[in-house]
Amino acid sequence: MESDDDTDHKEVGIQQKVKKYETKKSMNLFKKAKKIIPTGASSLMRTSSWDPYPLYIKSGKGTRIWDVDGNEYIDFLMAFGPIINGHANEKINGAVRKFLRNGSLFGAPSELEYKLAKEFKKFVTTQDMVIFALSGSDATFNALRIARAATGKDMILKFEGHYHGLHDYAAVSVEAPPPVSGLRWFPKSLPYSAGIPPEVMDTVVVASWNDLESLTKILKIRGNEIAAIITEPIMANSTVITPEGDYLKAVRELADEYNILLIFDEVITGFRVGPGGAQKLYGVTPDLSTWAKALGNGYPISAISGKKEYMELIGNGVGFGGTYFSSPISLVAANANLKLLEADDFAAYSHLGRITRRLGRGIEEICDNLNENIYVNYETGVLSFVFTDQRKITNYRESVNMDWNKYKGIQHKMLQRGIYYHPDGAERLPPSVAHTDEDVDKFLVAFEESLKEYNREN
């Protein structure tokens, strides 16, 4: 590893304890929950891929979490990305507790919303206006509605493997099994869920990401019908896949050519990869953007931002609202969260970038020493690794060519060493500002031991 990554994990001398973590309470809770809650939890990703049952987490502090059986783990899932400043952050929670003395929800405008909008603009200088909602799905749904209203067109274009929430217009080709997914340059639009009307599917066109040939050909055919192109600027739901070269700039140019609004879904990348999100990182300004996860450090809040001419359509023909949109509790938390990230000229991102690089390079080094085929990709605050012979992964179809069983098997062994992350190989590891070099060292020691143990057994 390079010198800016400080101590090589092999020199730390950490002895990772391997013990049998008893999780009987989690098992019993899962059995009981499934009798009255479909799948046992109110979000499928909390239970899917966890075999034979998920862990029930009771508490967290900083980078540590504890399950209902009392087992302690270093958390590298961080609630799938929202926890940017660590669990139970005292400055954030303290601000919320202080506010709660005066109430919780009023159904009226709040000065807090104006303050958060001003704070938001310190980070996201590329967007003129911002409005707040509750979840990432709320944000992408409303952004698409604005784009349709602005252009007078009904169709949208999304990319294979990109996740923009679970509303009908987003739940298309999130997964695309190769036998039925169509041509690489012109993928078929496939429903991600039962219950999506075919009329909705007919309004969603799908292209291959990081593939200008695919996008260019499709726009020549359907471009005049498309209201919006929506994309994750960094793919982060089918492993972490960064854009190739000037790909995003070329997408911007094509959108302009066909009078299409470009939407960046920064629900994951926003307030995580840098102060201005991926759009600042790559120097490409979309017409509209969506934000959520790391905005609230675990408190439910999302945002839609964009150019003034499009944002001002809200209330001028475009409806928008919800009882819990811009909840004062979440506004207080988000304000406190962004203040922490802004401190000392956004110094938190330098630390987060270094921690992410150290983790990624450490994984690569271990696998190189063990002659293990692996592909690691990362940007500040987001990282994934997959066991594969591929030298590089640039799109969804390449990302699925991995050893899923090995990933899950090693994740299980990592749990026994006190390291927590999701067992689905497509998911990302999102380090937080709270993670330390010691946390990374412990991950890397556990990873090397788990990999060796898995290979011995298989």
What does the pLDDT look like over 117-152, one tens digit per residue?
Answer: 999 999 999 999 999 999 999 999 999 999 999 999
For 237-266, letters b (16+ CB in 10 Å) and e give bbbbbbbeeebbebbbebbeebebbbbbbb
Q: Which helix (H) or strand (E) holds 65?
A: strand 64-67
pTM above 0.75, yes or no: yes
Q: Which of 5, 265, 287, 439 is flagged as catalytic?
A: 265
Pinpoint the alpha helices (H) of 1-126: 24-36, 90-100, 111-123
Architecture of the domain made up of 90-339: 3-Layer(aba) Sandwich (3.40)
- Tokens 């690569």: give the residue: 364
Question: Which tens digits make up the pLDDT trace of 306-365?
Answer: 999 999 999 999 999 999 999 999 999 999 999 999 999 999 999 999 999 999 999 999
- 3-88+346-457 shares its CATH topology with 90-339: no
Closest CA to 135 of 166, 104, 103: 166
Query: Does 163 participate in catalysis according to the annotation?
Result: yes
State the pLDDT confidence band at 21, using cuts at 50, 70 and 90. Answer: confident
Q: Tens of pLDDT along 87-97?
A: 999 999 999 99
- Catalytic, 265? Answer yes
* CATH hierarchy code of domain 3-88+346-457: 3.90.1150.10
User: Which residues, at least 6 apart from 414, have a Cβ–Cβ distance to it below 8 Å?
Assistant: 420, 421, 443, 446, 447, 450
Residue with tokens 């143990």: 453
Triad 342, 360, 64: Cα angle to 5°: 60
Domain ranges within the chain, ordered by starting residue: 3-88+346-457, 90-339
Average pLDDT over residues 283-291: 98
Which one from 73, 163, 375, 454 is the annotated catalytic residue?
Answer: 163
Q: Give the max Cα distance, the chain.
A: 65
